[in-house]
Amino acid sequence: MNEKKIPFSIDALTCPLTIDASSFITLAHGGGGKFTHQLIEKLFQPVFNNPELETRHDGAVIDIPQAKLAFTTDSYVVNPLIFPGGNIGDLAINGTVNDLAMCGARPLYLSVAFILEEGLPIETLWTIIKSMKKSADQAGIKIVTGDTKVVDKGKGDGIFINTSGVGAIEHNFKIHPSSIERGDVVLLSGDIGRHGIAIMSAREGLGFESQIESDCAEVSSRVQNLLNAEIEVHCMRDLTRGGLATALIEIAQTSKLSIIINEVQIPIREDVKGACEILGLDPFYVANEGQFLVFVKAEYAKQALEIMQNDALGSLARIIGIVEEKPQETVVLKTRIGTSRILDMLSGEQLPRIC
Amino acid sequence: MNEKKIPFSIDALTCPLTIDASSFITLAHGGGGKFTHQLIEKLFQPVFNNPELETRHDGAVIDIPQAKLAFTTDSYVVNPLIFPGGNIGDLAINGTVNDLAMCGARPLYLSVAFILEEGLPIETLWTIIKSMKKSADQAGIKIVTGDTKVVDKGKGDGIFINTSGVGAIEHNFKIHPSSIERGDVVLLSGDIGRHGIAIMSAREGLGFESQIESDCAEVSSRVQNLLNAEIEVHCMRDLTRGGLATALIEIAQTSKLSIIINEVQIPIREDVKGACEILGLDPFYVANEGQFLVFVKAEYAKQALEIMQNDALGSLARIIGIVEEKPQETVVLKTRIGTSRILDMLSGEQLPRIC
């Protein structure tokens, strides 16, 4: 045994595979008895280690610096659980952190609730919760309360995770589609389509030549940089289910304005384009997990772009469009060949269970 | 058509069964496209109707009256979805409201996240969300943000619901097992065992002569009455998974004290006793969804009991025990026949998926 004291590292924690002398989740782990307590004390506590969580209470007591908060929830049911560039754990943290960021809030506290399927290897759970802790630390959010349920084999799908988040709103902007005005400039944080393609290729076992990894990442620090620089932000939206096109259409409908988008400005990697062609997908509708739109007052556009491009993940940020009054509630795409195309909401979904 | 204006009533809403010309949930309802929007606009919005929810945003912006909040989460996977005395919807609201109450918080805001299984009848969902709205109104909590995911048939079990709650802590007590002192008096809110037996009999199709209904209810108003009367409350705990015994054992262990309980004081209905005997269950470990324990400083015990008994659901509230120093971390049951029995944590669970 190495007795030398080393700084705490999650990677240094070993999975207590012998939990209850079993390597798999059983219904008893969700029963509220001894096995549930072991799961919490051996797995969750050592990883999600923080003072609020240690109280073993029904909820967390949290201190709030602001009277105005953002509150959001998402359940994650992505299939497969582990995919190129991330896993359901990263996704569950970053997705909810990003929803808080889209409200213009600084992420503070997170709840985590697991629905585990009987028979899940405990090592899979361990891998996932370690990723969650890393992502939470990166985004500066604290996991303060949680819940674990177990369902019978065949009544779930490995792991479903719900995260709910609380964040502080520390500015006076009303960040909402209804704040958008004619003349506002639309910025995109980076290249689109990677998350959906990564999931699809992992699920279908497609061997693209270069492996396409999910863009799963927190965008909160970039949003904080924009707000701290007092950029007049009117609206933000992350580009998850339904992709760039659906986000734009939702915003056009809610704001009752027109959004004119320039196709040549929208970054898409060549390998993503190729994969979309093979799969018959339109990259505009493919999900992302680390990209977002920002609508700013025109005079702030250049400064906003610089701030976004200065981020390690933001080199491909672009100004992609402008807001006009007409045609109302419509997104118009100026294509590469000079024509115009109206973007319409998809009926179903291209890719089920991508988040 | 009746054109007369009547006060808004949830029961007056009819289920839009023709949503997307289908009566069943499809994967497309979770895809983030047109079908998802229809589900939100036709089902969720009319029922969970309130200003914060109508913003169609990624999260809700909420105003907070206090700097100190309680934050809690629970996922609900009860089987069957509808049972005598309630359904998964009531349970998902009351369960989280009660967790906030157990932190000594006044419930304020709730998030609701659904994981729906493909093929779920939309009418079932409609029944459940109407119950949720009624329970939320009863508890005075607002549903402000939500999420919907759909999983393939055979990868879920009808509906799973996560609710996360935010509440205001408006007093200066530290309500926690570590606040319990020797001499504290233990109060129980009412009779035990009904929820677990109701679920069990619904699931197994047991036809007990008198139908036993779940005790599913919010306990928050009783807690508020205790706190408003400035009863010195040291700890509270609701008696869900694992029942009365598990709650007592957890508290004894965390507080490192001894809890002495008097069996004759614990109300159990005769039909619940009978059902437990037939099923081979110990009612002390059977789950409840509307009962809780309160630990108060001895001088407040009588007044606390009166307050609890004055509630419509509290007539069976009793003083059931006292806190002593030894034997440490132990719950001792003084039995009806004068002997003592140590209550031990169960290894597994008696009833899987009761909440």
* Residue A21 contacts B, CB cutoff 8 Å: no
B67 or A225, higher pLDDT: A225
pLDDT-derived band at B48, boundaries 50, 70, 90: confident
A13 or A348, higher pLDDT: A13
- Residue A287 and residue A277 in contact, taking contact as beta carbons nearer than 8 Å: no
Whether the pLDDT of residue B348 is over 90: the answer is no
pLDDT-derived band at B86, boundaries 50, 70, 90: very high
B61 with A74: Cβ contact below 8 A: no
User: Could you give the 3-state DSSP secondary structure of residue A61?
Assistant: strand
A5: which strand partners?
none
CA B272, B273, B279, B285: dihedral to nearest 10 degrees?
90
Kindly give, in sequence order, each residue whose CB lies less than 8 Å from that of residue B338, ignoring residues fewer than 6 positions away: none
- Residue B178 and residue B198 in contact, taking contact as beta carbons nearer than 8 Å: no
What confidence score (pLDDT) does residue A3 get? 41
| Joined tokens for residue A241 | 């289910």
Instruction: Please report residues of A whose CB lies closer than 8 A to that of B352.
Output: 27, 30-31, 150, 152
What confidence score (pLDDT) does residue B4 get? 43
A62: which strand partners?
B69
What confidence score (pLDDT) does residue B3 get? 41
What confidence score (pLDDT) does residue A45 get? 83
Examine domains A3-169 and A177-342 and report if their fold is the same.
no
Distances in Å between the alpha carbon of B233 and those of A231, B184, B274, B311? 48, 9, 34, 18
Instruction: Please report residues of B whose CB lies closer than 8 A to that of A105.
Output: 59
Domain coordinates of chain B in residue numbers?
3-169, 177-342
Compute the average pLDDT of residues B176-199: 96
Rounded Cα–Cα distance for residues B264 and B249 (Å): 19
A317 or B19, higher pLDDT: A317
Rounded Cα–Cα distance for residues A333 and A266 (Å): 11
A284 or B30, higher pLDDT: A284
Q: Establish whether this prediction's ipTM goes over 0.95.
A: no
Whether the pLDDT of residue A308 is over 80: the answer is yes
Rounded Cα–Cα distance for residues B166 and A166 (Å): 9
- Say how far residue A197 (Cα) sits from the centre of its chain: 16
Rounded Cα–Cα distance for residues B58 and A299 (Å): 26
User: Could you give the 3-state DSSP secondary structure of residue B210?
Assistant: coil
Q: Please report how the helices B88-102 and B122-139 are oriented relative to each other, as an axis angle in degrees rounded to 10.
A: 30
Indicate the residue type of A119: G
Whether the pLDDT of residue A125 is over 50: the answer is yes
* Residue A154 contacts B, CB cutoff 8 Å: yes
Q: Which of B147, B68, B99 is nearest to A65 (CA)?
A: B68
What confidence score (pLDDT) does residue A2 get? 39
pLDDT-derived band at A239, boundaries 50, 70, 90: very high
What confidence score (pLDDT) does residue B207 get? 67
Whether the pLDDT of residue A267 is over 90: the answer is yes
Q: Which of B77, B176, B346 is facing A151, going by the closest CB pair?
A: B77
| Joined tokens for residue A68 | 């105005």
Whether the pLDDT of residue A82 is over 90: the answer is yes
Rounded Cα–Cα distance for residues B158 and B88 (Å): 11
**Residue of B34, B48, B50, B73 best to disrupt the A interface, most CBs of A under 10 A:** B73
What confidence score (pLDDT) does residue B21 get? 53
Rounded Cα–Cα distance for residues A275 and A211 (Å): 11
What confidence score (pLDDT) does residue A65 get? 73
The CA-to-CA distance between both ends of chain A, in Å, stands at 41
Lowest mean pLDDT among A63-77, A157-171, B3-17: B3-17
**CATH superfamily membership of B3-169:** PurM-like, N-terminal domain (3.30.1330.10)
- Residue A142 and residue A64 in contact, taking contact as beta carbons nearer than 8 Å: no
| A251 membership: H or E segment, kind and range | helix A243-255
Neighbours of A286 (CB within 10 A): 28
Rounded Cα–Cα distance for residues A310 and A153 (Å): 47
Instruction: Please report residues of B whose CB lies closer than 8 A to that of A102.
Output: 57-59
Whether the pLDDT of residue A5 is over 50: the answer is no
DSSP B160: E
Whether the pLDDT of residue B2 is over 50: the answer is no
What confidence score (pLDDT) does residue A1 get? 37
pLDDT-derived band at A57, boundaries 50, 70, 90: low
What confidence score (pLDDT) does residue A165 get? 96
What confidence score (pLDDT) does residue B19 get? 58
Size (chain A), residues: 355
pLDDT-derived band at A55, boundaries 50, 70, 90: low
The CA-to-CA distance between both ends of chain B, in Å, stands at 41
Compute the average pLDDT of residues B173-178: 92
Indicate the residue type of B216: C
Chain A nearest-CA residue for B108: A71
User: Could you give the 3-state DSSP secondary structure of residue A303?
Assistant: helix
Q: Which of A161, A123, A320, A291 is nearest to A216 (CA)?
A: A291
A345 with B28: Cβ contact below 8 A: no
State the residue for tokens 């109508």.
B54
- Say how far residue B27 (Cα) sits from the centre of its chain: 30
Rounded Cα–Cα distance for residues B355 and B352 (Å): 9
Indicate the residue type of A180: I
Whether the pLDDT of residue A56 is over 70: the answer is no
| Joined tokens for residue B292 | 């809780």
Instruction: Please report residues of A whose CB lies closer than 8 A to that of B154.
Output: 154
pLDDT tens column, B294-304: 999 999 999 99
What confidence score (pLDDT) does residue B7 get? 46
Whether the pLDDT of residue B1 is over 50: the answer is no
Indicate the residue type of A103: C
Compute the average pLDDT of residues A280-287: 93
Rounded Cα–Cα distance for residues A150 and A28 (Å): 8
* Residue A241 contacts B, CB cutoff 8 Å: yes
A345 with B155: Cβ contact below 8 A: no
Whether the pLDDT of residue B47 is over 90: the answer is no
pLDDT tens column, B113-137: 999 999 999 989 999 999 999 999 9
Whether the pLDDT of residue B17 is over 60: the answer is no
User: Could you give the 3-state DSSP secondary structure of residue A104?
Assistant: coil
Rounded Cα–Cα distance for residues B25 and B115 (Å): 11
Whether the pLDDT of residue A306 is over 80: the answer is yes
pLDDT-derived band at B185, boundaries 50, 70, 90: very high
Third-level CATH fold of A177-342:
Phosphoribosyl-aminoimidazole Synthetase; Chain A, domain 2 (3.90.650)
- Residue B216 and residue B91 in contact, taking contact as beta carbons nearer than 8 Å: yes
A71 with B111: Cβ contact below 8 A: yes
Neighbours of B254 (CB within 10 A): 17
Please report which residue ranges of chain B form alpha helices under DSSP H: 34-38, 45-47, 88-102, 122-139, 194-204, 220-228, 243-255, 270-279, 301-309
Compute the average pLDDT of residues B190-211: 86
| Joined tokens for residue A260 | 């004119």
**Within 13 Å of residue B302, how many CA atoms lie on the same side as its CB?**
1
pLDDT-derived band at A54, boundaries 50, 70, 90: low
A58 with B114: Cβ contact below 8 A: no
Rounded Cα–Cα distance for residues A88 and A80 (Å): 8
Buried/exposed code over A14-23 (b: 16+ C-beta within 10 A; e: otherwise): ebeeebbeee
Rounded Cα–Cα distance for residues B81 and B158 (Å): 8
pLDDT-derived band at B55, boundaries 50, 70, 90: low
User: Could you give the 3-state DSSP secondary structure of residue A17?
Assistant: coil
Compute the average pLDDT of residues A99-109: 95
Distances in Å between the alpha carbon of B311 and those of B191, B221, B266? 14, 9, 18
Compute the average pLDDT of residues B244-251: 95
Q: Please report how the helices B301-309 and B220-228 are oriented relative to each other, as an axis angle in degrees rounded to 10.
A: 140
Alpha-carbon torsion A53, A55, A60, A65, what sign?
negative
Percent of chain A, pLDDT > 70?
A: 91
- Residue A190 and residue A215 in contact, taking contact as beta carbons nearer than 8 Å: yes
